[in-house]
Chains A and B, each alone.
Chain A
Amino acid sequence: MRPRISPLTFTFVLIVGCLTVGPVLMLILGSFSRGIGAFGVFTVEKYIRVYTDPSLPKILLNTAAFTVGSSLFATALALILAYLNIRTDIPLKGLFHLISITPMMIPHIVFATSWVLLLNPSNGILNLLLREVLGLKSSPFDIYSLGGMILVEGLLDLPIAYLIIAPAMASFDAALEEAAWVSGGSKFRALRRVTFPILRPAILASLALVIVRSLAAFAVPSVIGMPGRVYVLTTYIYRLISLGFMPDYGRAAAVGVSVLVTSTVLVYVYRRLTARSERYVTISARGYKPAIIGLGRWRYPLSFLTSLLFLVLIVIPVLVLLYVSLIPYVMPPSAKAFSMMTLKHWNYVLHDPLSLRALRNSVFLALVGATLGILLSTFVSYIIVRVKSAGSALLESLAFFSFSFPGLVIGIGFMWFFVRTPLYATIWALLIGYIATYLPYGIRPLTSTFIQISEDLEEASKVAGGGFLYTFRRIVVPLAIPGIVSGWILMASMFLRELSLSAVLSRPGTEVLAVQILRFADDSLWGQVSALGIVMIALSTTMVTLATLVGKHIGKSK
């Protein structure tokens, strides 16, 4: 009676398939085409040219060092923090939560520029201060280096690593560790021989995911890497499409294919590693209470260190930006600096038509994009959870496929597509690209919400006479509001700060905030960068706060 795949499932398989498989196909076809105007004229010329480029080995080496370096750094730091927070009596535990949600507030490009402002060799504030205080001839730090990139990218990816490792640490049965002590081993030995091996899947998952993220990263490589001539694959691709008279989307696509393949393989590894632990994380409250270890005299020194990290991650970037946005040119804080304070950068930014347009576009994309995105996510997640068919399994794979998409690369895939449509150079091109690339972030919170809603509640509505859409509107959606709100927040904050996809798809008229900041940074207009950065931070903080409040209100009134 019923077809194997219902029309509803089929419709969404089609939509999500176009959004995720579509750009990948276009990327591959594009890489074998003669040019963006000669799509479909088969050639392998692009591959030959790009993979025989003598500068490529150095770029691959840089990319490897950058991704692996930031991955190790972020994971190691996350391990220490998670251990301190969950397994010890360290004070100020509230800070850990803040550290884990910061990335939603401070966009990567803003974070990276604030580090440039602190540590660049010519007029980095911290460098200038140290030179003055220590009487040095040259700057002690140079952020424009592989080391600087790893430091900043590692800090940016720390929250992701933390969010993977902390739950694993929390669900860890302390009895295993206690058994090891009882068997005569020292605490450290127990840590090394028992704790870490058990956490290994989480550690490997964190390593894999941070590599994926840093492979796709564009903010740090462009703001920190490019001035120091340290190129990685994303900046290499960006150069192919943005420099010179003729942007070469063919060569960019040919390199992009390898990046995408690498990324997809790593995400596959990550999903395998977390398949068991993460999927039902909301349900598997096993009730283990990990034993808390007393830190003794290390308690305060260690909490000083975590507070310092909090400063470095949140307070200093914001303060530096605020300060630089108010002084005429970059200089260390001093009486003179404070006496010269001016609103001219703010004036400039708030009257600059380009910046204002970028602001409008970004807010539009965040609000409308996140709303459409969450609408799609709600239906897709519902089908994934409730409809048990081959079609829904396919839909799940399709939806999570974009989890491995590096924005810049997939942007090139979209470019090959949009150029052939009237959508090209419109805000809708960005909107579609955003939703496709960030779909998993909307679907994740919703699938776990739907799993928790008893199916009886929907069946009762059907029996009471409600059709599918009526039931969806009156029963399913109201019950899923917490998941919908958190998915919306996640998507909106990501759309507001989106850089890598926009760097490819944004055209005159469709500027967005992050791209505008990148432009200012290219021209070393640090005052403008800072003012716009503060605007961005303020916007995303307001949005997250408002959405959280609205979600709470709805949750209460029901």
Chain B
Amino acid sequence: MGTRSPQHRNGMEIKVSALTKIFRSPSGEEVRALKEVDLTIPANRIFTLLGPSGCGKTTLLRCIVGLEVPDSGEIAIGDTVVWSKKQRIFIPPNKRGIGMVFQTYAIWPHMTVFDNVAYPLQVRRLPREEIRRRVRETLKFVKLEGLENRPATALSGGQQQRVALARALVSEPKVILFDEPLSNLDAKLREETRRELRRFLTELRITAVYVTHDRLEALTLSDLVAVMREGVVVEVGTPLDIYFRPKHKFVADFIGKANFIEGTVESTSEDLIRVVTPMGPIACRRAEGLTPGQRVTVCVRPEAITIDRPGDTSGGTNTFRGRVVSLLFVGENYEGEVAVGKTILAIKTNPAFPIGEGEEVSVYIDPAQCHILME
């Protein structure tokens, strides 16, 4: 938390209640982009809206900033209601005091870097000297000092992205929004910028709402992730929760590769929960509210599965016999499939471990990483 960072101060909570947005095409078709969305975005956290394209995440962001007008519900930023159907309130985007980084950066091509960043302050008619000082500080913060007089279009993609960030930060907004800001960068630069963005945002301690369809971005950047599907927020949690302890199959599936094994709860008394599945009984991590006989899905990430030579450990907890069905070399490891009975499990192995397709193996699943979904 740099004491010299100019925007060091507290952000605000965003509360979205029963928000619905319907798009009507000229032919009269209706698309419900948001369906009664309830969401609280806590202050001073990096909050990510994650979901496949068309899930409504960008629409939700645009409703928060005011570029889209919802059909019903309410949005409050801090104590201020910025949109309410019932109270007939609509605060236009230019009065909401929000910063936003656009997917295309939306850098104004006819202005210099300085003018692009100074714009939000010029709108507010601040004294010339103060504008100059704050623009300089902000540009320093995003590591663009010395480029003030460059035409904004003469910058690289990564630099333009930082100009967009500087412009969003310069007026010290209560909230900053990001609409897939990394999607226009190439893979290497994206990784670099992601790390940098994380540093900026951590230093700022500001309420940040970040929209992406890239799960890696969501996991690395966020304090909290909301996974959306078809206009509904499916689940909200920390990146670790979402990854290791998802409640919904959709979330588990979207956030990374997972094996789903259907089964019936046998006992809940012990430290581990036993679930009977077609591939045999699986010991799973404890979860609340389960009763014996209940149908559940066990979720196992490929990396939770250990492959070994057959024979020696068979019969132990969560140890099964299987046969390698396929193996694919993907660089840092092999991705493969192992058949245990009729169940096919996706696995990952170390390339140094010599196995081949068709070989018999022993399969061990760490009970602490067997997660029960209660969908």
CB nearest neighbor in A for B98: A463
Q: Are A464 and B110 in contact (CB under 8 A)?
A: no
CB nearest neighbor in A for B111: A558
Q: Are A460 and B94 in contact (CB under 8 A)?
A: no
Apart from A1-B85, A464-B119, what 16 extra A-B contacts exist at CB < 8 Å?
A456-B103, A456-B104, A457-B106, A459-B93, A459-B106, A460-B164, A461-B108, A462-B92, A462-B93, A463-B65, A463-B66, A464-B167, A464-B171, A465-B124, A470-B123, A479-B110
A479–B109 alpha-carbon span in the complex (Å): 8
**Interface membership of B254, Cβ < 8 A:** no
**Interface membership of B302, Cβ < 8 A:** no
CB nearest neighbor in B for A388: B26
CB nearest neighbor in B for A456: B106
**Interface membership of B181, Cβ < 8 A:** no
A462–B68 alpha-carbon span in the complex (Å): 12
A130 CB to nearest B CB, Å:
58
CB nearest neighbor in B for A471: B94
Q: Are A1 and B69 in contact (CB under 8 A)?
A: yes
CB nearest neighbor in B for A458: B106
Closest 5 CB pairs of A and B: A460-B106, A456-B106, A558-B110, A464-B120, A465-B123
Q: Are B106 and A1 in contact (CB under 8 A)?
A: no
Say yes or no: A459-B69 contact (C-beta < 8 A), given A466-B119, A466-B123, A467-B94: no
List, in ascending order, chain B residues with CB within 8 A of A558's CB: 109-111
Q: Are A2 and B94 in contact (CB under 8 A)?
A: no
Say yes or no: A474-B90 contact (C-beta < 8 A), given A460-B106, A479-B109, A479-B110: no
Say yes or no: A474-B119 contact (C-beta < 8 A), given A459-B106, A460-B102: yes
A425 CB to nearest B CB, Å:
44
Query: 7 A-B pairs, CB-CB below 8 angstroms?
Result: A463-B65, A463-B96, A465-B95, A465-B171, A467-B94, A475-B108, A479-B109
A459–B104 alpha-carbon span in the complex (Å): 11
| Interfacial residues, chain B to chain A (CB-CB below 8 A) | 65-67, 69, 85, 88, 90, 92-100, 102-104, 106, 108-111, 119-120, 123-124, 164, 167-168, 171
A459–B93 alpha-carbon span in the complex (Å): 9
List, in ascending order, chain A residues with CB within 8 A of B90's CB: 1-2
Q: Are B67 and A459 in contact (CB under 8 A)?
A: yes
CB nearest neighbor in B for A2: B69
Say yes or no: A463-B69 contact (C-beta < 8 A), given A1-B85, A457-B108, A474-B119: no
Interface of B is mostly: loop
List, in ascending order, chain B residues with CB within 8 A of A478's CB: 110
The listed residue (A456, A462, A463, A474) touching B99 by CB distance below 8 A is: A463
List, in ascending order, chain A residues with CB within 8 A of B69's CB: 1-2
**Interface membership of A454, Cβ < 8 A:** yes
The listed residue (B88, B104, B110, B111) touching A454 by CB distance below 8 A is: B104
List, in ascending order, chain A residues with CB within 8 A of B110's CB: 478-479, 558
List, in ascending order, chain A residues with CB within 8 A of B100's CB: 460, 463
- A-B contact count, CB below 8 Å? 71
Q: How many A residues have CB within 8 A of the partner chain?
A: 20
| Interfacial residues, chain A to chain B (CB-CB below 8 A) | 1-2, 454, 456-457, 459-467, 470, 474-475, 478-479, 558
List, in ascending order, chain B residues with CB within 8 A of A470's CB: 94, 123
Q: Are A456 and B123 in contact (CB under 8 A)?
A: no
A457–B160 alpha-carbon span in the complex (Å): 14
List, in ascending order, chain B residues with CB within 8 A of A1's CB: 69, 85, 88, 90
A501–B342 alpha-carbon span in the complex (Å): 87
A516–B96 alpha-carbon span in the complex (Å): 59
A523–B119 alpha-carbon span in the complex (Å): 62
B66 CB to nearest A CB, Å:
8
Q: Are B94 and A463 in contact (CB under 8 A)?
A: yes
Q: Are A460 and B123 in contact (CB under 8 A)?
A: no
List, in ascending order, chain B residues with CB within 8 A of A460's CB: 100, 102, 106, 108, 164, 167
List, in ascending order, chain A residues with CB within 8 A of B88's CB: 1
List, in ascending order, chain A residues with CB within 8 A of B65's CB: 463
The listed residue (B94, B103, B171) touching A462 by CB distance below 8 A is: B94
A466–B94 alpha-carbon span in the complex (Å): 6
A189–B332 alpha-carbon span in the complex (Å): 64
CB nearest neighbor in B for A467: B94
A505 CB to nearest B CB, Å:
40
A462–B167 alpha-carbon span in the complex (Å): 12
A456–B94 alpha-carbon span in the complex (Å): 14
CB nearest neighbor in B for A554: B110
List, in ascending order, chain A residues with CB within 8 A of B106's CB: 454, 456-457, 459-460
A467–B98 alpha-carbon span in the complex (Å): 14
A103 CB to nearest B CB, Å:
32
List, in ascending order, chain B residues with CB within 8 A of A474's CB: 119
B2 CB to nearest A CB, Å:
24
List, in ascending order, chain A residues with CB within 8 A of B85's CB: 1
List, in ascending order, chain B residues with CB within 8 A of A462's CB: 66-67, 92-94
List, in ascending order, chain A residues with CB within 8 A of B96's CB: 463
The listed residue (A454, A459, A461, A467) touching B119 by CB distance below 8 A is: A461
A467–B125 alpha-carbon span in the complex (Å): 13
CB nearest neighbor in B for A457: B106
